Amino acid sequence: MKRISNKNEEKVRTGFLTFLRTCSFLIMLCVFLLSALLFVPRLFRIQYYHILSPSMEPEIMTDSLVVCVPCEAQELAKGDIIVFLHENIVICHRVEENDKENRQLETKGDNNPIKDLWNTDYSDVCGKVVWHKEKLGLLLDKLMSLPGKLLLFGVLGVSLSVHLYTQRQN
């Protein structure tokens, strides 16, 4: 009778260790993929920005994540959405006019009643928006903060420890 009980306990133990190892591997894979999504695009000069104002609503909502790629400012056309610097503030607005002679852009936020009161020099353009998604900007800010990075590395460390422990137990 005891022998059957030990075999059942061993099956449960082995199944549980396999489950733990699989879960820890999947968590490590998710952390790795998330890290890759956050850092690899920067190698290709792709930038992420968190939208903090409602100036582009309803097209781009507050707390959205926008992804922009480098572009030639002289090739921008009316209607393109760009990210640019104005007085050291990152702004995301739509191009209203491209003054190629003076190498400047007139811009406007979709939700603003008038065009911006300044023209943006070509050299201040960070890139052209190619994708955006609501709420992800807030998540990006949390993950890129020191506590977010510590959490990611902590989860990765615990998962790696569990994975190695379960491998040694088999």
Q: Does domain 47-134 fall into CATH 2.10.109.10?
A: yes
Tens of pLDDT, residues 102-130: 999 999 999 999 999 999 999 999 999 99
Going by pLDDT thresholds of 50, 70 and 90, the confidence category of residue 1 is very low
Q: Are 76 and 128 in contact (CB under 8 A)?
A: yes
pTM of the model: 0.75
Residue 99 DSSP SS3: strand
Q: What is the DSSP letter of 73?
A: G
d(CA 32, CA 30): 5
Mean pLDDT highest for which of 26-30, 38-42, 66-70? 66-70
Taking only the tens place, the pLDDT of each residue in 136-156 is 998 888 888 899 889 888 888
- Pick the closest to residue 107 from 131, 132, 81 (CA basis): 81
Confidence class of residue 92 from pLDDT cuts 50, 70 and 90?
Answer: very high
The CA–CA distances, whole Å, from 71 to 43, 52, 157, 165 equal 16, 23, 39, 49
Give the residue-averaged pLDDT of 32-38: 79
Dmax of the chain from CA atoms?
A: 92
pLDDT of residue 107: 98
Q: What is the pLDDT of residue 7?
A: 78
DSSP label at 40? H
